[in-house]
């Protein structure tokens, strides 16, 4: 009986130690991810503050500082709702270089994400990406941006009509107002077509909490504020 009790205590201590080590490893991974994310964003901000000839009026610098300095505010992106799998994929992608085209921000949802070129797995593990055949940040037209439902675009489940979406580029900040949110099929590409006015379309999979490939698409349509 005594030997059995010692064995139980030994197993309990072993499990406790294993749990503690896993908790420490998880915490260190989150810290490393945050540091690398800040490094990428700081590099982008450095480009914003560089004097540039031919920059549009909205992005002109005054006294060596750009009005885009608002990007230097504290990082508000809440990654606590990310899935474990996407967190690991994001972590694995941090060692590879990526050129940031813009930064997408939704202040009310505390969402801030780097916008990269394309929608391949590396891109969507690292940030959100521009959809082929649509316009690009800072340009006219319909800008299509895709993101993972279990990553940067998880907060979109709480977006409402009227919410403001900001796209920050080296040319300035464009603000869009959400017009509507709808659910559609993956085959419906009409959401990415040209619209009557400059627009922004965010795309992610739906439902947000679904095991396996999601069968539908969650579409956020917004128009440039005049």
Report the catalytic residues.
148, 205
Read off φ and ψ for residue 217, nearest 5 degrees: -125, 140
pLDDT of 223: 96
Average pLDDT over residues 68-77: 41
Q: What percent of the chain has pLDDT over 90?
A: 42
Q: Name which residue leads in pLDDT, 185 or 75.
A: 185
Measured CA to CA in angstroms, residue 221 lies from 156, 199, 205, 216 at distances of 12, 7, 15, 16
pLDDT of 63: 35
Q: Which of 207, 206, 199, 107 is nearest to 160 (CA)?
A: 107
CATH architecture of 2-224: Beta Barrel (2.40)
pLDDT of 136: 93
Reported as a pLDDT band with limits 50, 70 and 90, residue 51 is very low
Q: Which residues of 191-210 are buried (b: 16+ CB within 10 A; e: fewer)?
A: bbeeeeebbbbbbbbbebee
pTM for the model: 0.65
Contact 182, 219 (CB under 8 A): yes
Domain boundaries, the chain: 2-224
Q: Name which residue leads in pLDDT, 79 or 109.
A: 109
Reported as a pLDDT band with limits 50, 70 and 90, residue 24 is confident
Measured CA to CA in angstroms, residue 114 lies from 9, 84, 163 at distances of 49, 20, 19
User: How far is C-alpha 173 from the geometric centre of its chain's CA atoms?
Assistant: 17
Alpha carbon distance 145, 106 (integer Å): 14
Reported as a pLDDT band with limits 50, 70 and 90, residue 69 is very low
Task: Write out pLDDT tens, residues 127-179.
Answer: 899 999 999 998 889 999 999 998 899 999 999 999 999 999 988 999 999 99
């Amino acid at each position: 009986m005594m030997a059995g009790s010692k064995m139980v205590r030994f197993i309990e201590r072993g499990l406790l130690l294993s749990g503690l080590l896993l908790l420490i490893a998880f915490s260190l991974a989150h810290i490393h991810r945050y540091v690398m994310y800040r490094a990428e964003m700081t590099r982008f901000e450095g480009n914003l503050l560089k004097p540039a000839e031919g920059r549009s009026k909205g992005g002109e610098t005054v006294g060596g500082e750009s009005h885009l300095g608002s990007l230097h505010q504290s990082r508000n992106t809440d990654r606590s709702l990310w899935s474990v799998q996407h967190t690991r994929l994001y972590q694995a992608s941090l060692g590879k270089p990526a050129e940031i085209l813009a930064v997408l921000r939704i202040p009310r949802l505390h969402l801030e994400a780097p916008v990269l070129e394309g929608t391949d797995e590396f891109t969507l593990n690292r940030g959100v990406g521009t959809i082929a055949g649509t316009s690009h940040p800072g340009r006219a037209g319909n800008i299509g941006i895709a993101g993972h439902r279990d990553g940067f675009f998880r907060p979109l489940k709480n977006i409402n009509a009227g919410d403001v979406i900001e796209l920050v580029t080296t040319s300035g900040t464009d603000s869009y107002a959400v017009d509507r949110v709808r659910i559609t099929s993956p085959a419906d590409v009409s959401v990415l077509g040209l619209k009557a006015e400059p627009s922004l379309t965010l795309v992610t999979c739906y439902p947000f909490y679904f095991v396996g490939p999601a069968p539908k698409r969650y579409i956020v349509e917004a128009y440039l504020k005049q």
